[in-house]
Amino acid sequence: METYYLFIVGILFLLAASDLMVGVANDAVNFLNSAIGSKVAKRHWILLVASAGVLVGSMFSSGMMEVARKGVFRPENFYFTEMMVIFLAVMITDVIVLDFFNTFGLPTSTTVSLVFELLGSAVAVSIFKIMNTEGETISNLGNYINSGKALAIISGILSSVVVAFVVGMVVQYIAR
């Protein structure tokens, strides 16, 4: 059985490297898409500012994933094999989703995608576990998913979108 886990860890390592590439590409797409499309500056200035943004973002984002990892589900209620399935599903989905969005030049947040991928895979594994456990019903989902923390993270994401929209609207109104 140890060979099985080593194989999964190897796949996770390859997916992590691939996810790093599509994640940085996603940040670059988010920076470059509207700036190049609207021709606000010369291309080399846009690329310089985008490079600085990606660099600063990667240097100061150390604790972002800890919030999602420690809050969305309760890892103490899962076996090691179930945790491996959860994280493998998250990594595969993240690479596919980010690559899809990057291919079509659509803006997306790597943090938001990871939070919802983690929540979705944890719910799926929890439901599978509940179905195969005698005496448990879907009402026991709260034992596996930290719904209060997950809702706090989701409401924080939604409120940041609303704040960004309102501030952007006010700045554009003043600037125009």
Residue 122 pLDDT > 60, yes or no? yes
Question: What is the structure's pLDDT at 1?
Answer: 61
What gap in Å lies between CA 90 and CA 71, rounded to an integer? 15
Contact partners, residue 164, CB within 8 Å, separation at least 6: none
Question: What is the structure's pLDDT at 164?
Answer: 87
Question: What is the structure's pLDDT at 12?
Answer: 86
What gap in Å lies between CA 173 and CA 176, rounded to an integer? 5
What gap in Å lies between CA 117 and CA 123, rounded to an integer? 10
Average pLDDT for 54-71: 67
Contact 25, 102 (CB under 8 A): yes
**Using N-to-C axis directions, what is the helix angle for 2-38 and 110-131, rounded to 10°?**
150
- Residue written as tokens 């499309």? 37
Q: Would you place residue 93 in the very low, low, confident or very high pLDDT band (cuts 50, 70, 90)?
A: very high
Residue 53 has what DSSP assignment? H
Question: What is the structure's pLDDT at 2?
Answer: 79
Average pLDDT for 59-78: 72
Q: Would you place residue 129 in the very low, low, confident or very high pLDDT band (cuts 50, 70, 90)?
A: very high
| Token representation of residue 88 | 């493998």
Question: What is the structure's pLDDT at 127?
Answer: 93
Amino acid at 41: A
Residue 68 pLDDT > 70, yes or no? no
Q: Would you place residue 24 in the very low, low, confident or very high pLDDT band (cuts 50, 70, 90)?
A: confident
Say what the pTM is: 0.77
Contact 52, 70 (CB under 8 A): no
Average pLDDT for 115-121: 89
Residue 123 pLDDT > 90, yes or no? yes
Residue 62 pLDDT > 90, yes or no? no
